[in-house]
Structures are given as structure tokens and as C-alpha cells.
Amino acid sequence: MIRPVIINIFRLLLLVFLQLFVLNHIQFSGYVNPYLYILFILWLPFETPGWLTIVLAFALGMVIDVTSHTIGYHAFATTFIGYMRYHLLALIAPRNGYEFGMSPTVPSLGLAWFMKYISIMVVIHHVILFGIESFGMGDYLAATFRAIVSSIFTILLILVCQFLTLRSR
């Protein structure tokens, strides 16, 4: 029981650190800004209660907000996908449901399932985030483009993380 908790706390610290000190400083042409930190929510164990997922998602968003001077932006987007994850997991469950000990990763459920899962979550998160950012500015085409390109980069980074953890096991 205590092991997954420690692993998740460690993962949270690592992802937040990576986001704040590496990814937020990488800027390709002003369009691409991957938000890898949401991988923490994506990789929470299936056994995590729904309310805990939402609270953790909100807290994670607030941490990113406070440290990058964008109050409310990330919290809004992460809370949304935190709530959505609960329903999405039920929606895309394999035919015989999730078994005990399974985790939302490639080795447990396969690449096709994983891709479907992360793509939906990442795209919705990014669309909300970039949508809020450009709200009222009228430049929605540019915002959509930014959201799409950044989503692709985030998904690629998540896959890289997945395969890095595969090799170490």
C-alpha cells in the first residue's frame, strides 16, 4: 500500500521539477510549449479514488500556476481532466474490465489503448489551456495551432517517458 504512494510522490516531484526548470524554458519558435507534468495524473493507479484524483489534479495545477505566475490557468485545465479521467477510464475500459494490479501504462494495457487514453487527455487539457490563454483576444486560429503542435510534443514526450521506464525494469 505504501509503495505506490512513495512512487507517486517521487514521480510528482520529478515531473514538476522537469516542467518548471526544463520544459518551461524550452521555446521552439514561440509556438510549442509541452506540458509533460500532467503525466502524473495520467499515471495515477486505477485504485485511486475519484475525489482524490480531482483534488490532486487541482493541487498540481495550482503548484504549476503559482510557480509560473499564471494563476488559475493550469488549475482549471488539470481539474477538468482529473474529473474526466474517471469517466474516460470507464468509457475505454477493456472488455473484461481492469484487473487488480494493472496500471494505465503500455505494458499493462498495450500501446493502442495507451495512445487512445493519453491522446484524449492531452488534447483536451491543451485545448482548454490555450483556449483560456487566448480568450478574448480573437486569435483563435493561432491558439488552435499552438494547442495542436504542443499536444503532439507532449504526447511524444510521454511516450519517451514510457519507454525510458520500460528499459529500466
Partner 1 sequence: MRTLIRFFQRHYLFFIFLVLEGAAFALLVQNHFVQRVAYGNFSGNISNVVNEQISDWNNYLHLRQINEQLIRENTELRNRLPESMYAADAEHSFSVDTVNQVKYQYLSAAVINISVNKQYNYITLNKGAEQNVAKNMAVMGPDGIVGVVVGVSDHFATVLPVINRHFRVSTKFKKNHYYGSLQWDGKSYRHAELNEIPLHVPVETGDTLVISGYSSNFPEGAPVGTVSHFSKKDGNFYDIEVLLFSDFRKLFHVSIVKNYMKLEQDELEQLIKPAAND
Residues 32/149, Cβ–Cβ less than 8 Å:
yes
DSSP label at 25?
A: G
Three-state SS at 67: helix
Rank residues 30 and 97 by Cβ distance to partner 1 and give the closer one. 30
- Selected from 15, 54, 122, 155, the binder of partner 1 by CB under 8 A is 54
| CA distance linking residue 33 with residue 111, whole number of Å | 25
Q: How many residues touch partner 1 (CB under 8 A)?
A: 38
CB of 93 to partner 1, least distance (A): 17
Rank residues 58 and 117 by Cβ distance to partner 1 and give the closer one. 58
Residues 104/110, Cβ–Cβ less than 8 Å:
no
Only segment of 5-13, 36-44, 70-78, 119-127 that touches partner 1 (CB under 8 A):
70-78
- Selected from 134, 144, 162, 165, the binder of partner 1 by CB under 8 A is 134
- Selected from 139, 156, 160, 166, the binder of partner 1 by CB under 8 A is 139
| CA distance linking residue 56 with residue 44, whole number of Å | 10
- Selected from 12, 15, 19, 33, the binder of partner 1 by CB under 8 A is 33
| CA distance linking residue 149 with residue 81, whole number of Å | 19
